[in-house]
C-alpha cells in the first residue's frame, strides 16, 4: 500500500517536472521571436484578474505591431513620394530647358530673317542704279549688260519671226492642190497657165529660129 502511494507521488512529480521543462522550451521559443509570454497566474491572483492581465498584454502587443506596420508603410509611402517628386522635378527641369532652347532658336531664326529682309518705310521710292556716261581713258565705252540683253532679245525675236514667215511661205508654196482654198486654187491655175503659155512661146521661137537658119 505504501509502495503504491510513493509510486504515485513519484509519477506526479515527474509529470510536473516534464511539464515545467516543456514550458521553459516554449518560453524560450517565444522570446526568440520577441514575444514575452504570460506565465501562469501569480500566487494569490484570481482567475478574472489573470484573464484581464493576459488580455491587456495581448492587446498591447497587437497595438504595437499595428503601429510598426503603419510606421513602416508611411515610411515606404514617403520614400515613394520623394522618388516621384524627384523624378517630376527632373522632368520639369528638362522641359524647361527644352522650352528655353526652342525660344532661343526661334529668336535666332527671327534675327536671321530680319537681317536678310530689307525694310522699306512708307513713302520711300526705289530708284534705279546710276548710269556712267563717261568713257574710260584709252578705251571704248562698254555697253551696259542690260542694253546688251535687250539687243540680243530683239535679234532673237527678229530671227524667230523671219523663220516663221519662211516656214509659212514654204508650206504655202509646196501645198497640194486638193488642200488649197478656192482663191489659192484659182491663183495656182493662172500661174500654171501663164507658165505653160510662156514655155510654148519660147519653144515656138526656137523652132522658128531654127527654120530660118536652114
pLDDT of residue 144: 52
Across residues 106-133, what is the average pLDDT?
A: 68
Region at 123 (left for phi over 0; alpha for psi -120 to 50; beta for the rest): left
Across residues 70-82, what is the average pLDDT?
A: 74
pLDDT of residue 84: 66
Q: What whole-number percentage of the chain has pLDDT above 90?
A: 0
**CA-CA distance, 83 to 77, in Å (whole number)?**
10
Contacts of the segment 133-140: beta carbons below 8 A, 24+ positions apart: none
Of 199 and 156, the structure prediction assigns the larger pLDDT to: 199
For the cut 80, the answer to whether the pLDDT of residue 150 exceeds it is no
| Model confidence band, residue 147 (pLDDT cutoffs 50, 70, 90) | low
| Model confidence band, residue 81 (pLDDT cutoffs 50, 70, 90) | low
**CA-CA distance, 209 to 206, in Å (whole number)?**
5
For the cut 70, the answer to whether the pLDDT of residue 175 exceeds it is no
Across residues 71-92, what is the average pLDDT?
A: 75
Q: What is the mean pLDDT of the chain?
A: 71
Q: Name the pTM for this structure.
A: 0.22
| Model confidence band, residue 125 (pLDDT cutoffs 50, 70, 90) | low
Count Cβ atoms within 10 A of the Cβ of residue 27 and give its class: 0-12 exposed, 13-18 middle, 19 or more buried: middle
Using the 8-state DSSP alphabet, how is residue 139 labeled?
A: S
152 within 8 A of 159, measured Cβ to Cβ: no
Amino acid at each position: 500500500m505504501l509502495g503504491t502511494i510513493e509510486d504515485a507521488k513519484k509519477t506526479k512529480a515527474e509529470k510536473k517536472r516534464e511539464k515545467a521543462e516543456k514550458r521553459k522550451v516554449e518560453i524560450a521559443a517565444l522570446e526568440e521571436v520577441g514575444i514575452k509570454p504570460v506565465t501562469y497566474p501569480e500566487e494569490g491572483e484570481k482567475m478574472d484578474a489573470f484573464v484581464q492581465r493576459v488580455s491587456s498584454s495581448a492587446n498591447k502587443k497587437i497595438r504595437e505591431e499595428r503601429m510598426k506596420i503603419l510606421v513602416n508603410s508611411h515610411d515606404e509611402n514617403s520614400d515613394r513620394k520623394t522618388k516621384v517628386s524627384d523624378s517630376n522635378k527632373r522632368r520639369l527641369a528638362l522641359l524647361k530647358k527644352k522650352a528655353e532652347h526652342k525660344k532661343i532658336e526661334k529668336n535666332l531664326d527671327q534675327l536671321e530673317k530680319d537681317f536678310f529682309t530689307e525694310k522699306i518705310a512708307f513713302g520711300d521710292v526705289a530708284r534705279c542704279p546710276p548710269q556712267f556716261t563717261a568713257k574710260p581713258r584709252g578705251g571704248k565705252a562698254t555697253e551696259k549688260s542690260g542694253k546688251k540683253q535687250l539687243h540680243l532679245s530683239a535679234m532673237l525675236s527678229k530671227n524667230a519671226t523671219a523663220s516663221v514667215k519662211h516656214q509659212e511661205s514654204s508650206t504655202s508654196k509646196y501645198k497640194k492642190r486638193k488642200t488649197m482654198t478656192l482663191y489659192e486654187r484659182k491663183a495656182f491655175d493662172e500661174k500654171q497657165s501663164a507658165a505653160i503659155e510662156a514655155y510654148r512661146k519660147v519653144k515656138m521661137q526656137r523652132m522658128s529660129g531654127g527654120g530660118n537658119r536652114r
